[in-house]
Chains A and B, each alone.
Chain A
Amino acid sequence: MSDKLVKNAAGRWIPEMVNGEKVIPFKGVGKYKPEGNKMAPRISSCADYPLDGNKQVKNLEEALIRAGLKDGMTISTHHHFRNGDLVANMVFDVAKKMGVKNLRWFPSASFPCHDHLIPYLEDGTISHIEGSMNGPLGKFCSEGKMSKTAVLRSHGGRYQAVQDGEVKIDIAVIAASCADAFGNANGINGESNSGLLGFALADSQYAEKVIVVTDTLVPFPCVPWQIQGNYVDFTVLVDKVGIPEKIVSGTTQVTKSPDRLLIAEMTAKFCEVTGIIHNGFSFQAGAGGTALSIGIYFGDIMRRKNIKARFARGGSNQYLVNLMEEGLVEYIMDGQTFDLEGVRSMRENPNHVWTSPFTSYNYHGKGNFAGLVDVVILGATEVDVNFNANVVTHSDGYLMHGIGGWQNCLFSKTVILPLPLFRDRIPVIVDEVTTLCGPGELIDVIVTERGIAINPLRTDLIDKVKGSGLPVKTIQQLKEEAEHICGKPQRPKPNDKIVAAIKWVDGTVIDVVHQVADQ
């Protein structure tokens, strides 16, 4: 990495080069417009593929060998199996066995089940990760132990990076609960259901070689084909691609915490009194416990006022499915399926629509769905007094979460972050975020258990909430209240070494993460 730092439009110091390649500093929302063409994959010929469509090879190792696995390649996987994924670990087990080194792992996200890969990061099988990191992988990276710099992107940013040729995938390994030998695949049928496979769309379209791995191989045709076999080089049958009960992760339970329920109720009430909840509106709530309960409160309000939503954006789950089946929501535009009820609904109900990072989030396209949504409810680890938010690091500097669709969703009409004012003594509203992931101009409302702060840019919301009885405060007041309760934290002095770059939705670098300081 070059030592030379430049200040980007958000005032953050970022390096000119990351992993030996020049990067573009963040220029402001909507300011950077690249020219030129998208990446075009090589032309393939049917002459090189079996005419009978049978692309099945003996095992994953053979597939990887025939795909030309070698040192320094970029290997991609998707995260639809969440914490129940078995395939990413299998891929690098093979790489380790073959003695291949210096691989770049390009997952759409990583989970604690991928801690298995830490020894491979240590022995140089994997040089670095470009994708979300949490738990032990996040700790490993934060402590500066990864030999190259991590790069974190949003779901839309990942599609954009592949499409624009910023990341060239050598081998995409796409796990699917059901596939045929031609490579058509879906997450709806078979045992290890993940519902969608949208996060692997770019990988299938743009990777040099594509391997589909399944534990349920059906005769052609595997329909519906969420992944089209025409993009696929090899298919592999294994015993198990995922652990079904872990595909539904712990973040998909409604919260029982009274604090979070209160925040959820206040958020729903805010949306009610400001008229955000109106006939034909649309919303997106994430998978966290608070977000799920907000969906339930939305349902109560819609029932009481006889209001119907035109569509809700998923992550789908049983609660959202219930709203659709009750007739309160007309369409679920699903990006990832969080539980088996979501999978069932997707299989049975034509109004449960598949989306992908291309349709929903890609910023280098002719529009995307994110901007069409009336209100989106998101999380954050920190928000500062200018409404800038952090979603990847904690205040102590540790990289603990991925960006997910978070940055992409900031383009919705109203962005609300329901957050506790402090977590285990650590204030959530701060003077300046540790890591900038989303510019404050796109973040409208912060709802805490001790008050609601509205971005001064949203004078319309400030007017509408008057007289509602909701406790509206300035963000400065909230920050001071948090510090009054917790004490003003000392600011950890980060190490100079940069361990990760945070990309904005357009591929520019909005901030970097430094190695955590020794205590």
Chain B
Amino acid sequence: MIAQAGNIGDAVRSDCFVRLELKEQGGICVNVRSKVSKLYGNQINKLCREVLKFFDVRHAVLSIEDKGALPFVIAARIEAAIHQLIITDQTYLTSLEDGNSIATPQDHIRRSRLYLPGNNPKLMLNAGIYGADGVILDLEDSVAPDKKEEARILVRNALRSVNFYGAERMVRINQLAAGLDDIDWIANEGVNLILIPKCESADDIHLTEERIQQVKKDKTFPVHLMPIIESALGVQNAYAIASASENVVALAIGLEDYTADIGAQRTNEARESFYARSAVVNAAKAAGKQAIDSVFSDIEDMDALTKNIAESKALGFTGMGCIHPRQISYINQGYAPNDAEIEKAKKIVNAFQIALENGSGVVALGSKMIDPPVVKRAQKLIDMAVLTGKLSKDWREAYVG
């Protein structure tokens, strides 16, 4: 009985490849080949034995080809091999980072969210340092079919042991129904938000939510949902999806699959998806949720990205996925309110506050009357400016109109 897990090859970094053979007798034999063996050889050996003991493996040969993997990776790879050979519902949980059990509010800022392939530990380690509002550990398209199982374990350990420096921790599960099984592995590990790919109906939301409720131990810890609309049918049902549950916090659109579904080419001008994007924004806003745009796939062309963000913002989107860290600062900047918008909003909110203080029901700016929805929008913009660090919370103290 032999099992293998992990990645091997010259280009592999911060990962390891394990080969586990169960034996009838002879005790445990651990062979570690590591590029960091002079510094961490003993610790790696100890961890290997600890994980085997945890799963009550008594006779085995475990070989590890290590490329500087951190303990949470090594443990995930060994566990993945063990799960192939023995049936167990035990899970070997690695250390929990301080920040990784913090919940996020429903209206958390979600301008940028960085996609991370779920079976690539190297990219996870520094994912939190670039200032993305969220990180997505992806179990879907970026994971090869034969790596789905080991990726779940790696993602689970990453949710516990990687410091994402305050970024919202998201997981994209696989398309339902397979995606429902993914939930079992992550629901209790502090995940803030689950992305449901290729979502087409309110039923998908209900199924996802049921599964979460079944497995989640701490019922008070919120797990938000972000369905991704990637088909003509999904667009058609967008409002039903957005309003299917209070846990749905945002609707995202995925244009690669959507354009394929309607039989169109995806172009930079994006006229082919204008309707879908507007429909998704409208459905999201009708249900009081955020609307999140599709990723921009050219990671070299920053001018095109900037233009794309401006158009997206103009349509009503509040954020966009990132497939490379370089895109984050452009996206954060692009969706944050700009200086002119902030100045205008400050005037309106200030006038409103003065009206309140004077006990007047009428808000006026100069000779112009300001309607309540205008005040509401201005207040939202100010909140966003404060949250994105562009405006101090007590800006009014220093404000001279």
Contacts and interface: CB of A to CB of B under 8 A. Distances in A.
A84 B324 CA distance: 35
Contact of A489 (B40, B69, B130, B163): B40
Contacts, number: 62
Interface stretch (A5-13, A114-122, A255-263, A506-514): A255-263
A425 B126 contact: no
Majority SS at the chain A contact face: loop
B102 to A, nearest CB: 18
A450 interface: yes
A332 B35 CA distance: 40
A237 to B, nearest CB: 41
A397 interface: yes
Given A425-B40, A489-B40, A262 B130 contact: yes
A273 interface: no
A380 B299 CA distance: 30
A415 to B, nearest CB: 24
B14 A259 contact: no
Given A426-B68, A486-B70, A487-B71, A259 B39 contact: no
Contact of B39 (A261, A450, A490): A490
B14 A490 contact: no
Interface string A226-253: 0000000000000000000000000000
Contacts of B70: 425, 485-487
Interface residues of A, number: 22
A397 B70 CA distance: 21
A265 to B, nearest CB: 9
Contacts of A325: none
Interface in A450-464: 450
Contact of A490 (B40, B125, B126): B40
A517 interface: yes
A490 B126 CA distance: 24
B14 A424 contact: yes
Nearest to A424: B68
Nearest to B95: A484
B37 interface: yes
B38 A396 contact: yes
A492 B42 CA distance: 11
A259 to B, nearest CB: 5
B41 interface: yes
Nearest to A448: B129
B13 interface: yes
B160 to A, nearest CB: 14
Interface string A292-318: 000000000000000000000000000
A424 B41 contact: no
Contact of B325 (A258, A424, A426, A450): A258
A490 B40 CA distance: 6
A423 B40 CA distance: 13
Contacts of B68: 423-426
A193 B69 CA distance: 42
A262 B43 CA distance: 31
Nearest to B127: A258
Interface residues of B, number: 24
A180 interface: no
B69 to A, nearest CB: 7
Interface in B152-199: 163
B298 to A, nearest CB: 15
A134 interface: no
B14 A395 contact: no
Contacts of A519: 37-38, 41
Contact of B326 (A258, A449, A485, A487): A258
Nearest to B131: A262
Interface in A465-501: 485-487, 489-490, 492
A487 B38 contact: no
Contact of A517 (B14, B38, B71, B325): B38
B67 interface: yes
A451 to B, nearest CB: 10
Nearest to B34: A425
Contact of A426 (B39, B125, B126, B326): B39
A517 B41 CA distance: 13
Nearest to A395: B39
Interface string A353-374: 0000000000000000000000
B163 A485 contact: yes
Nearest to A493: B38
B23 to A, nearest CB: 25
Contacts of B41: 490, 519
Contacts of A397: 38
Interface string B122-135: 00011001100000
A425 B130 contact: no
A396 B324 CA distance: 33
Contacts of A396: 36, 38-39
B36 A424 contact: yes
A491 to B, nearest CB: 8
Contacts of A492: 38-39
Interface string B294-334: 00000000000000000000000000000011100000000
B325 to A, nearest CB: 4
B153 to A, nearest CB: 19
A18 B41 CA distance: 33
Given A424-B67, A425-B36, A450-B129, A258 B324 contact: yes
B67 to A, nearest CB: 7
Nearest to B165: A450
B6 to A, nearest CB: 15
A486 B325 CA distance: 22
A450 B163 CA distance: 11
Contact of A261 (B36, B40, B326): B326
Interface string B39-51: 1111100000000
B61 to A, nearest CB: 20
Contact of A449 (B43, B69, B126): B126
A516 B39 CA distance: 12
A262 B163 contact: no
A409 to B, nearest CB: 28
B93 to A, nearest CB: 17
B155 to A, nearest CB: 18
Which 4 pairs, one residue from A and one from B, show the smallest C-beta to C-beta distance? Answer: A424-B68, A258-B325, A489-B39, A396-B38
17 contacts: A261-B326, A262-B325, A397-B38, A423-B68, A424-B36, A425-B36, A426-B39, A426-B68, A450-B129, A485-B70, A486-B40, A487-B71, A489-B40, A490-B38, A490-B39, A490-B42, A519-B37
Given A485-B125, A516-B38, 11 more contacts: A258-B126, A262-B325, A395-B38, A396-B36, A396-B39, A424-B68, A425-B14, A450-B129, A486-B70, A487-B43, A489-B39
Interface of A: 258-259, 261-262, 395-397, 423-426, 449-450, 485-487, 489-490, 492, 516-517, 519
Interface of B: 13-14, 35-43, 67-71, 125-126, 129-130, 163, 324-326
